[in-house]
Homo-oligomer: A and B are copies of this chain.
Amino acid sequence: MSSGERNQIDSQFSSAERDAVYKCIATRRDVRSQFLPDAIPDEILARILRAAHQAPSVGFMQPWDFLVIRDMAVKHKIKVAFEAANSQATEIFADDRQRLYRTLKLEGIVEAPLGICVTCDRNRTGPVGLGRTHQPDMDVYSSVCAIQNLWLAARAENIGVGWVSIIRTDDLRAALGIPAEIDVIAYLCLGYVSDFLAQPELEATGWLPRLPLDELVWFDQWRGRAGSEGLLRYLKQTGRHSESE
């Protein structure tokens, strides 16, 4: 429906459509090791970027830009920046944790056919904006919502995404020519994959366990439990099992 005489949508979701959304959410993974070199067609990349652009944004400011990286020389600069940061990060963990950390593959910068850097232009609509008067970081949160939309859209296209956070944002800024007034929010790796892991890799390797959901939900007050028996029963039914199907 184009924006016509009536600003409404009648589209209810069927149970099949609902289940597809839940499947997407449950089987999304942070991909580091399973990238294939196959190119992502422009038409599919356009759909994924459009999904990102449909994210909620505070005051409708749409503060994001998307830099698509295909140039191997640029990817190599980013890989070097990751390696510098990761060698510092490794030293923070001691003994067994450090040994486990060293075995983890934490990025696929060079193997993934595409990188996407997502930014936030905090002055896109001027110094103040609707919804940012009391929570100034809402614009950054909007860019993060765009990233999560992008991630889920990619999963629905059978494309994996990995978020590389072990990197100095100033190094990303330098490698990509991003001006000082633009915040760098994320560097993402995208590509088709050999397979999606059933569990998050950090859960499967024993880095950290999945937390039981019923221990993270409260009622009316922090740590409140009154009147919550019904919901807690549902949360417990599946909360202590693997999230994956």
The interface of chain A, by Cβ under 8 A from chain B, is 1-4, 6-13, 16-18, 20-28, 30, 42-43, 45-47, 49-51, 53-56, 58-62, 64-71, 74, 85, 88-89, 92-93, 101, 104, 106, 125, 128, 130-135, 137-138, 140-141, 144-145, 147-149, 151-153, 155-158, 163, 165-169, 176-179, 182, 185-186, 195-200, 202-204, 207-208, 210-211, 213, 216-224, 227-228, 230-231, 233-235, 237-239, 241-245
Chain B positions within 8 Å of A203 at CB level: 60
Partner of A220, one of B70, B149, B155: B70
Inter-subunit contact B17/A216 (CB<8 Å): no
Q: Bound state CA distance, A21 and B54, in angstroms?
A: 12
**Contact (A66, B216) CB under 8 Å given A51-B25, A176-B222, A208-B59:** yes
Inter-subunit contact B8/A221 (CB<8 Å): no
